[in-house]
Structure 1
Amino acid sequence: MNEALPISTATPSLSRSESKAEAISRVAMETIQQEVTRREVKTAQLREARLAKEAADHKAAAAAAPAPKKKAPASR
């Protein structure tokens, strides 16, 4: 009475249309993942370029900043 039922690890076979749908879904998900990876890499490159440009602009602005003008004494 306490016999354990054997656990089957075999998956049920898919019908022809299910197999085709599964293949299409797998290819679509791989394509989407590739596009996400490509977008993230491009975003990281653009961020690095923007930060480098901002740093260069900041240094150039600091070097080109005119000295503060002295106020002329008020004459009365």
Structure 2
Amino acid sequence: MATSAKTAAAFKPKASDVRLAKADQTTEAARAINEANARAHAAKTEKLRALRLEREAAEAAEKEAAPKKKATKKAV
């Protein structure tokens, strides 16, 4: 049993290693959050762009379909 206690003590993580591991976990969590936000932003932008293009096409079609008004001369 004495050898297993020595072995356990030899492989026990150091405090600095634990801090680094915790920092790595925090960094990975922050990156995951930022990537999720970036994907959501890109999806929202793409959706809004599609809606804007659709609206502009509808407005252009409506403008072309509307009868053009003739210019009237103003009395001087």
Q: TM-score, normalised by structure 2?
A: 0.68
Q: Spell out, residue by residue over 1:16-42, the C-alpha distance to the aligned partner (whole angstroms, 9 max, x if none).
A: 110110000000000000000000000
The runs of 5 or more residues in structure 1 that have no matched partner are: 1-12, 70-76
Residue 15, structure 1, aligned to residue 11, structure 2? no
- Offset at residue 65 of structure 1 (A): 3.9
1:45 maps to what in 2?
Answer: 47
Q: How many residues get paired?
A: 59
Find 2:34's aligned residue among 32, 35, 41: 32
CA RMSD of aligned residues (A): 2.1
Counterpart amino acid of 2:32?
Answer: E
Task: Give the % identical residues.
Answer: 25
Structure with a larger share of its residues in helix = 2
Counterpart amino acid of 2:66?
Answer: A
The runs of 5 or more residues in structure 2 that have no matched partner are: 1-13, 72-76
- Offset at residue 67 of structure 1 (A): 5.7
Q: Spell out, residue by residue over 1:4-60, the C-alpha distance to the aligned partner (whole angstroms, 9 max, x if none).
A: xxxxxxxxx970110110000000000000000000000000000000000000000
Counterpart amino acid of 2:22?
Answer: K
